[in-house]
Amino acid sequence: MEFKLVDKLDSEYQVEIIPCFEDYEISRYSDIFNKIKNQGLFEGKIGTKYSLNQNDVNGISTLVFVGIGKKDELTYDSWYKSLVSLFEKMKINLLKNILFYSFECDNLNIKNMLKGIILSFSAANYKFDRYMTTKLGETEVKIDIYTNKSEDLDELLNIRDAINLTRDLVNEPSNILTPEEFGNRCIEQVKGLDVEINVYDENWIKENNLNALYEVGKASVNKPRFIVMKYFGDKQSDKTISFVGKGLTYDSGGYSIKSSDGMVTMKCDMAGAASVLSLIILLAKQNLKINVFGVIPTCENMINGNGFKPGDVIGSLSGKTIEIISTDAEGRLALADGVYYAAKNLNSDLIIDIATLTGACGIALGTKYAAIIDNDESIFNKLNDASKNTVDSIWRLPGDKEYLSTLKSDIADYKNIGGRYGGTITAGLFVGEFTLGKPWAHIDIAYVAWNDFSTKIFPKKGATGAVVELLYNFCKNSQ
**DSSP class of 367:** T
DSSP string of 7-70, one letter each residue: SS--S--SEEEEEE-SSS--SSSHHHHHHHHHTTS----TT-EEEE-TTTSTT-SEEEEEE---
Between CA 163 and CA 471 the distance in angstroms is: 11
The pLDDT of residue 59 is 57
Same domain, 18 and 146: yes
Residues of the chain with pLDDT under 50: 56, 58
Q: Which of 151, 176, 197 is the last residue of a domain?
A: 151
Q: Which of 151, 166, 188 is the last residue of a domain?
A: 151
Same domain, 394 and 248: yes
Selected catalytic residue, list 49, 225, 332, 460:
332
Selected catalytic residue, list 258, 396, 461, 476:
258
Residues in the chain: 479
In tens, the pLDDT along 5-14 reads 999 987 789 9
The pLDDT of residue 209 is 99
- Work out how many domains the chain is built from and give that number: 2
Contacts of residue 14, defined as CB under 8 A and 6 or more positions apart, other chains included, come to: 61, 62, 95, 96, 97, 98
Same domain, 167 and 143: no
3-state helix/strand/coil string of 78-97: HHHHHHHHHHHHCCHHHCCE
**DSSP class of 105:** B
Q: Which helix (H) or strand (E) holds 296?
A: strand 291-301
Check which CATH number belongs to the domain holding 227 and give it.
Answer: 3.40.630.10
Pairing of strands 414-415, 142-146: unpaired
Same domain, 136 and 177: no
The pLDDT of residue 439 is 99
Same domain, 90 and 175: no
In tens, the pLDDT along 233-289 reads 999 999 999 999 999 999 999 999 999 999 999 999 999 999 999 999 999 999 999
The pLDDT of residue 56 is 47
Same domain, 107 and 125: yes
Contacts of residue 198, defined as CB under 8 A and 6 or more positions apart, other chains included, come to: 227, 228
Same domain, 322 and 293: yes
The pLDDT of residue 53 is 77
Same domain, 56 and 25: yes
CB 272 within 8 A of CB 335: no
Same domain, 34 and 51: yes
Active site residue 258: yes
For the chain, first and last CA: distance in Å?
A: 32
Check which CATH number belongs to the domain holding 53 and give it.
Answer: 3.40.220.10
Same domain, 98 and 200: no
The pLDDT of residue 475 is 99
| Burial class, 387, CB count within 10 angstroms (exposed 0-12 / middle 13-18 / buried 19+) | buried
- Calculate the alpha carbon distances from 73 to 76, 116, 159, 253, 394 in Å: 10, 16, 26, 45, 21
State the greatest distance between any 2 C-alpha atoms of the chain, in Å, as a whole number. 81
The pLDDT of residue 55 is 55
In tens, the pLDDT along 145-189 reads 999 998 889 999 999 999 999 999 999 999 999 999 999 999 999
Q: Which of 97, 123, 151 is the last residue of a domain?
A: 151
Active site residue 135: no
The pLDDT of residue 54 is 59
Q: Which helix (H) or strand (E) holds 182?
A: helix 179-190
Same domain, 132 and 181: no
Between vectors from CA 163 to CA 130 and to CA 115, what angle results, nearest 5°? 125
Same domain, 337 and 420: yes
Query: What is this structure's pTM?
Result: 0.97
Q: Which helix (H) or strand (E) holds 254?
A: none
Q: Residue 384 is part of which domain span?
A: 157-477
